[in-house]
Amino acid sequence: MSDLSVIPLCVPNLEDENGLEARTVNQCFENGMVSYGGAFVNEFQEKVASACGARHAAATSSGTTALHAGLHALGVQPGDLVIVPSLTFIASANAISQCAAEPWLCDVARDSWTLEAAQLEKMLENECMRDSAGVLRRRPSSQDEAKGSEGARIGAIMPVYMLGLPAEMDRICDVARKFDIPVIADGAAAMGATFRGHPIGSIPDGPQLTALSFNANKIITTGGGGMLIGNDEALMERIVQLTTTARDWHRGYHHTEIAFNYRLTNLCAALGVAQMSKLDGFLAAKHAISQRYAQAFAGRADLQPFPEVEWATGACWFSGVFLPEWSADQVTAMRAHLDRHAIRTPPFWKPLHLQPPYRDAPRMDLSVSDAIWQHILPLPCSTHLTVEDQKRVTDAVLSFERQG
């Protein structure tokens, strides 16, 4: 089968007979604006804000730096806890650690793979208490008490829009408001998703901030890049300051605080502007791919589609099959079988509590995350995947004979 062309999991779609991406990026070469100055950054921010229904947007160098700057701007401090589902890409937790805070790992719901609102309420209700100053803290452990230290402050909640599917944000934000904790959504792969009909930047009473990523395999790409979107003007102005060295331009090299250089370059933004003109087409392609997988496997109860929920329409960033009845070894054997057909399906995210840096992170019951992660098999889903290539994928999946 060595003559088969390789079908990757998910790669950028830059194919365009008019060369739009190349032509747009080339404008930066023509006018020399390849770095932080230049008109494309603003144009890109406006296009993303508008597509997401948000009033403001601040471009960043990656999704991870967007999350870090967002947490910082929301007031997360060293020693704080930030509630985040264990079943996510490690960047969600790394951004928390970069604030010298710690992730407090929670589980996902079985039917959505997103942060479980009922467990979140239990965490804040039963596992936390207010100190004499009214600050919400996790109840001190016996070790904390022995050391005379109080429990860690709850700094923020970070729901993750799993595979582009929004979490149950009305319930989550209701709980967050009740306890007065800010919410930053990791919507890295969710551009184009909607929550109860609202684009993710205009969810009524929604999160303060939503982070997006534009790395190579996301809905659109800038090569590497990210963005924070939000509707609170003062907060968003502070984020622009924080991500651009907090410089007071009226006073030359005068910087008002310790800040970051998390800017997106004009070169990357140019690519983003060109990609944004294709967003609707990319989303339609993602949905069509997801539907074709669902149809091809409809006759096989053991090959389930990824979750759909009543509260949201996902961006279908990744689609594939969920194999809850299979053993982890059988899923690995399927991946090897697909590899022999030149179909690349790398293993899915290992949850945070199984990663060396977060082995000791505080956690809740994680039985759903533990039960499902090895049974999630994303299949090729680049937006320019042809119907023929997708048929090659579904035929290969269906031709696999499960042993044992």
Ligand X SMILES: *Cc1c(COP(=O)(O)O)cnc(C)c1O
Q: Which chain residues interact with ligand X by CB under 6 A?
A: 62-64, 88-89, 91-92, 160, 186, 188-189, 213, 215, 226
Helix, strand, or coil (residue 84): strand
CA torsion angle 124 126 128 130 (round to 10): 100
**Minimum distance from residue 349 beta carbon to ligand X (Å):** 8
- Of 125, 111, 90, nearest to 350 by C-alpha is 90
Q: Smallest gap, in angstroms, from Cβ of residue 187 to ligand X? A: 8
The CA distance from 144 to 275, in Å, is 50
Q: Which of 58, 296 has the CB closer to ligand X?
A: 58
Q: Cβ 91 to ligand X, closest distance in Å?
A: 4
Nearer to ligand X, 128 or 209 (CB): 209
The torsion of the CA quartet 34, 40, 42, 44, rounded to 10 degrees, works out to -120
**Minimal distance in Å, beta carbon 112 to ligand X?**
14
Q: Between residues 155 and 226, which has the closer beta carbon with respect to ligand X? A: 226
Task: State the residue number with the nearest CB to ligand X.
Answer: 63
Give least dist CB 347 to ligand X, A: 15
Q: Are strands 226-230 and 56-60 parallel, antiparallel or unpaired?
A: antiparallel
- Cα gap 169→205, rounded to integer Å: 9
Helices 387-399 and 279-296 cross at an angle (nearest 10°) of: 30
Task: Measure the CA–CA gap between 317 and 401, rounded to whole angstroms.
Answer: 28
Other CB atoms within 10 A of residue 6 CB:
10
Sign for the CA dihedral angle at 253, 239, 235, 77 comes to negative
Of residues 86 and 330, the one with the C-beta less far from ligand X: 86
Nearest distance from C-beta of residue 216 to ligand X, angstroms: 9
Query: Toward ligand X, which CB reaches closer, 44 or 297?
Result: 44
In this complex, which beta carbon is closest to ligand X, that of residue 275 or of residue 330?
A: 275
